[in-house]
Structure 1
Amino acid sequence: MTNLTDLGVAAIRDGVKAGEFTAVEVAEAFNANVAAAQDALNAFIVATPEAAIEAAKATDAKRAAGEDLGRMGGVPIGMKDLFATFDVQTTAASHILEGFKPQYESTVSQNLWNAGAGMLGKLNLDQFAMGSSNETSHFGNVVSPWRKQGSNAPLAPGGSSGGSSAAVAARLAPAATGTDTGGSIRQPAAFTGITGIKPTYGRCSRWGVVAFASSLDQAGPMARDTRDCAIMLGAMAGFDPKDATSLDMPVPDWEALLSSDLSGKTVGIPREYRMDGMDAEIVALWDQGVAWLKDAGAKVVDISLPHTKYALPTYYIIAPAEASSNLARYDGVRYGLRDLPEGANLQDMYAATRAAGFGDEVKRRILIGTYVLSAGFYDAYYTQAQKVRTLISQDFAKAFEQCDVILAPTTPTPAFALGENVDDPLSMYLNDVFSVPASLAGLPAMSVPAGLSKDGLPLGLQIIGKAFDEEGVLNAGLALEQRAQFTASPDKWW
């Protein structure tokens, strides 16, 4: 029998439905991989093997009774530890929430369980999703399953969804949830040779997802390929009256709509994304991507996104500002950590709890956010950033008058070594240079693995689409995937 952990979402779902293997056999195989890799990769904060088996048994019972198994029937997945899961620890990888067990379920995770998926565990991430390397987690950094050729130096799996990307790449899960605020699905997907899509802002409910920056945060799937992402996104998405920013729109059957024929479609190439000092391998892969999309029938045009150079500074004003507001709720009063020094008053408790509970990067962003929202600087920074955000959105709107989707690199470099950028926040922030603009505009965007660097590390290409056009993004991604024929996987060293 095929090694079950080499199968993706579609293959597992179809195999269980056809009776080629049971859902319990699949769950047991992945549970074993999770346990075997934990010490080396640290991808999970909490493993939930019993939950995976329980969901699998329910799927097998449905099949025996001739009932519908659901869109994700028999598929065990990893859940980023930003999604509230009923009675299972939910921490956002922060000490301040350690031990917190929600008595409710996030809408996205509930949608997945309703579709027949099971939970292998809660995946590690950068603390409160703030980071690009998974080195800010209170529970220790995730290690990428990839290695440079001829080197054993541990590499970053990307961030913030680094546990998700490492788990899928290392065959610990066929798919995982991620969240993307400024690139946190796409960048880790590119670093680990998997596929991930950030849908249009509002397509997936934010209810029950620990908030970082509320006008930017968006959940999405991370999986082996485009089809698996289409299946999982269909299960995750949908209108939610509990989320005021949720889109009240029907959810298309993106899997059924998949087509790699791009005849009649136009692909835009943003000239501003060709930046000084770009890695030559990234440039070459981008050019190869253009050729692949032409081969799929698309016409290619140059476009301009003139405010691109302001996207990163704009993001690093707006996101910390929203974070400083959202994280004010962590005060040691209602839940999570409480640090109460002897003889302390309420203000002392707040200060001690936050000092002990938040990591350095989270504190840095709270400080930045509080500064830009303060009375003397609100108009100079925050108001200006919101105006520039509008201009960036308008750039995309004008560009989409000329094209259907945009092709760009996902990241400026391949994966870097753990510790390489940890003392240089600006270098770390530059990892998001190609992913942030689509987030500011709320547009759907995905990363597809498209090649290997000279050191044998994965490189990704990014497709950005019009609002609500996940179909166009997925189809262009499928066209790239079929031509790139990316089948590389990390050599097992763990």
Structure 2
Amino acid sequence: MTKLYDKSLVELHNLLASREITATDLTRATFDRINETEPKVDSFITLNEEKALELAKAIDLKGITDSNVLAGIPIGIKDNIVTKDLRTTAASKMLYNFDPIYDATVMDKIYQSDMIPVGKLNMDEFAMGGSSETSYFKTTKNAWDHTKVPGGSSGGSAAAVAAGQIPVSLGTDTGGSIRQPAAFNGIVGMKPTYGRVSRYGLIAFSSSLDQIGPLTRNVEDNAYTLNAISGFDAQDGTSSGRSVPDFTAKLTGEVKGMRIALPKEYLGEGIQPEIKAAILEAADTYRKLGAIVEEVSLPHSKYGVAAYYIIASSEASSNLQRFDGIRFGYRSENIETLEDVYVKSRSEGFGTEVKRRIMLGSFSLSSGFYDAHFKKAGQVRTLIKQDFDNVFKNYDIIIGPSAPNVAYGLGENIADPVAMYLSDLLTIPVNLAGLPGMSIPAGFSEGLPVGLQIIGKHFDEQTMYQAAYAFEQATDFHTKKPVILGGDK
């Protein structure tokens, strides 16, 4: 049988619909590929082989039509998305034995599309981190260079796709956790508008910022996946009732007359020179395609990191109160009093980074400091949103780097939380404003992928996909593969 692991989602669909392969064939080949590459990449925490093969056989019996592009396609799920009867750990000792009794809404949609979840992907603990090194279970490696980090917190989701273990995965993005690992691994990652995809069944980090989105190796595959997981959910009070368009409808390669903004703040101090050059070259590519690219200013974006870490940590300190050693998850054995249950279970169950953010958030919300910190951060958040609103009065999309640097070495920054936090400075403002943002491959620096970030108006992912697809068709960056996928880099 031909190699299946380096094919796109759409190519796999064509093979399935024409009956050249079956869903069972593809699922078995997927687990073979995972078993072959997992020792090098370490993307998965839990595999779902038995149930996946049962689903595949049922899909084969039902048959796969030309119109159902996602039927029979294997997908990996970030391990903070709740999956019924499939262990969900959020990469934390606190949830080392948690087997949920219900599915997240996105999982319901995955099953309705006849996709096949093959396992749960590694991540930073409770999505708190930018390198996937805070996981309790393992450290995922970058698909291009196994001595480098894959990014985070959706590092497993990105590395698994880039290494050809799976054609598509789900990640989550609170401050860049889909876009940054997508950039580090040279793939496409979409963080939808806040409210576009239900958060019901997502283990909450920061409830006003979290959003689930897809990671794939090309734009078209990504758009098909977002079609499937989007839509209103009555179980999520922040879910939008807006209708969901066909995100593949504008994949024409045409961007003539599109107005594109390039913020000067996104190319300033702290951005690696080769990354800046790649983004300026991407802007020229859009100009050659007939788009209008002009420099703009987002003056309050420099305050984004400070505001984000106050807001996100405050919401995290509240959300993580539920992990108390009583109802589910880890409970310390060395206990004598009720207070011991709480204190020792949480002290032993949470990792260093999670504890750091709980403490930061609790301080920001405490009496005497709330107005000076949390309230002020909320006001700055409003100013950042207003900056975007002003730009979008005259422009269709905003472009810039996805990250100020390419993937760095394992262990290089993990002991320096400030350096880790500052690496999110280009992605954080998008979450604070509730906007959609995506990363697509746009070049290389030091032999590692560079990501182009595309930011859109609220609920206008369609135009973002249009712009991303046009760039993809005009360049060959998306065709480059890491050595583990048969490439020469």
TM-score bracket, normalised by the shorter chain, equals over 0.9
Provide the C-alpha distance between the structure 1 equivalents of 2:254 and 2:130, rounded to a whole number of angstroms: 34
Residue type at the aligned position of 1:376: G
Q: CA deviation at 1:440?
A: 0.5
Partner of 1:150: none
Contact 2:192–2:435 under 8 Å retained in 1: yes
Give the counterpart of 2:149 among 132, 135, 156.
Answer: 156
Q: CA deviation at 1:39?
A: 2.3
Partner of 1:484: 475
Partner of 2:167: 174
- Match status 1:421 vs 2:390: no
Provide the C-alpha distance between the structure 2 equivalents of 1:55 and 1:194, rounded to a whole number of angstroms: 27
- Match status 1:314 vs 2:307: yes
- Match status 1:2 vs 2:2: yes
- Match status 1:443 vs 2:443: no
Q: CA deviation at 1:296?
A: 2.1
Provide the C-alpha distance between the structure 2 equivalents of 1:91 and 1:276, rounded to a whole number of angstroms: 38
Give the counterpart of 1:116 among 114, 117, 123.
Answer: 114
Provide the C-alpha distance between the structure 2 equivalents of 1:415 and 1:51, rounded to a whole number of angstroms: 35
Provide the C-alpha distance between the structure 1 equivalents of 2:69 and 2:239, rounded to a whole number of angstroms: 21
Residue type at the aligned position of 1:9: L
Partner of 2:465: 474
Give the counterpart of 1:137 among 110, 135, 138.
Answer: 135
Residue type at the aligned position of 2:12: I
Q: CA deviation at 1:35?
A: 1.4
Cα shift readout 1:321-348 (whole Å, capped 9, x = no counterpart): 0000000000011001111434x22222
Residue type at the aligned position of 1:42: D
Q: CA deviation at 1:8?
A: 1.6
Residue type at the aligned position of 1:11: E
Q: CA deviation at 1:69?
A: 7.1
Cα shift readout 1:51-86 (whole Å, capped 9, x = no counterpart): 2222221221111xx768734101001111011101
Partner of 1:26: 26
Contact 1:59–1:69 under 8 Å retained in 2: no
Matches within 5 A, 1:215-364: 215-342=208-335, 344-364=336-356
Provide the C-alpha distance between the structure 2 equivalents of 1:83 and 1:3, rounded to a whole number of angstroms: 30
Contact 2:251–2:470 under 8 Å retained in 1: no
Give me the CA root mean square deviation: 1.4
SS of the aligned residue for 2:423 comes to helix
Partner of 1:77: 75
% same residue: 47
Provide the C-alpha distance between the structure 2 equivalents of 1:246 and 1:11, rounded to a whole number of angstroms: 32
Cα shift readout 1:196-235 (whole Å, capped 9, x = no counterpart): 1000001000000100000000000000100000000111
Contact 2:298–2:388 under 8 Å retained in 1: yes
Provide the C-alpha distance between the structure 2 equivalents of 1:321 and 1:182, rounded to a whole number of angstroms: 14
- Match status 1:39 vs 2:39: yes
Provide the C-alpha distance between the structure 2 equivalents of 1:132 and 1:475, rounded to a whole number of angstroms: 28
Provide the C-alpha distance between the structure 2 equivalents of 1:14 and 1:346, rounded to a whole number of angstroms: 59
Residue type at the aligned position of 2:99: K
Deviates more, 1:270-279 or 1:346-355: 270-279
SS of the aligned residue for 1:4 comes to coil
SS of the aligned residue for 2:228 comes to helix
Provide the C-alpha distance between the structure 1 equivalents of 2:247 and 2:204, rounded to a whole number of angstroms: 27
Provide the C-alpha distance between the structure 2 equivalents of 1:416 and 1:171, rounded to a whole number of angstroms: 22
Provide the C-alpha distance between the structure 2 equivalents of 1:291 and 1:69, rounded to a whole number of angstroms: 37
Give the counterpart of 1:369 among 353, 357, 361.
Answer: 361
Provide the C-alpha distance between the structure 2 equivalents of 1:392 and 1:382, rounded to a whole number of angstroms: 15
Residue type at the aligned position of 2:380: V
Partner of 1:96: 94
Contact 2:94–2:323 under 8 Å retained in 1: yes
Partner of 1:462: 453
Provide the C-alpha distance between the structure 1 equivalents of 2:176 and 2:315, rounded to a whole number of angstroms: 17
Provide the C-alpha distance between the structure 2 equivalents of 1:189 and 1:385, rounded to a whole number of angstroms: 28
- Match status 1:379 vs 2:377: no
After TM superposition, the score normalised by the length of structure 1 is 0.96
Residue type at the aligned position of 2:140: V
Cα shift readout 1:8-62 (whole Å, capped 9, x = no counterpart): 2111122211212111111111111111222222110001122222222122111
Provide the C-alpha distance between the structure 2 equivalents of 1:350 and 1:31, rounded to a whole number of angstroms: 40
Partner of 2:103: 105
Provide the C-alpha distance between the structure 2 equivalents of 1:267 and 1:257, rounded to a whole number of angstroms: 17
Deviates more, 1:31-40 or 1:230-239: 31-40
Residue type at the aligned position of 1:477: A
Contact 1:317–1:385 under 8 Å retained in 2: yes
Partner of 1:17: 17
- Match status 1:409 vs 2:401: yes
SS of the aligned residue for 1:446 comes to strand
Contact 1:301–1:403 under 8 Å retained in 2: no
Provide the C-alpha distance between the structure 2 equivalents of 1:75 and 1:52, rounded to a whole number of angstroms: 11
Provide the C-alpha distance between the structure 1 equivalents of 2:33 and 2:50, rounded to a whole number of angstroms: 14
Residue type at the aligned position of 1:171: G
Provide the C-alpha distance between the structure 2 equivalents of 1:483 and 1:439, rounded to a whole number of angstroms: 29
SS of the aligned residue for 1:232 comes to helix
After TM superposition, the score normalised by the length of structure 2 is 0.97
Distance of aligned partners of 1:253 and 1:237 in 2 relative to their CA distance in 1, 3 Å threshold: same
Cα shift readout 1:363-421 (whole Å, capped 9, x = no counterpart): 00000000000011000000000000000000000000110000100010110010000
Q: CA deviation at 1:132?
A: 0.5
Residue type at the aligned position of 1:144: N
Q: CA deviation at 1:257?
A: 2.9
Q: Which runs of 5+ in 2 are unaligned?
A: none
Provide the C-alpha distance between the structure 1 equivalents of 2:285 and 2:361, rounded to a whole number of angstroms: 42
Provide the C-alpha distance between the structure 1 equivalents of 2:52 and 2:246, rounded to a whole number of angstroms: 26
SS of the aligned residue for 2:248 comes to helix
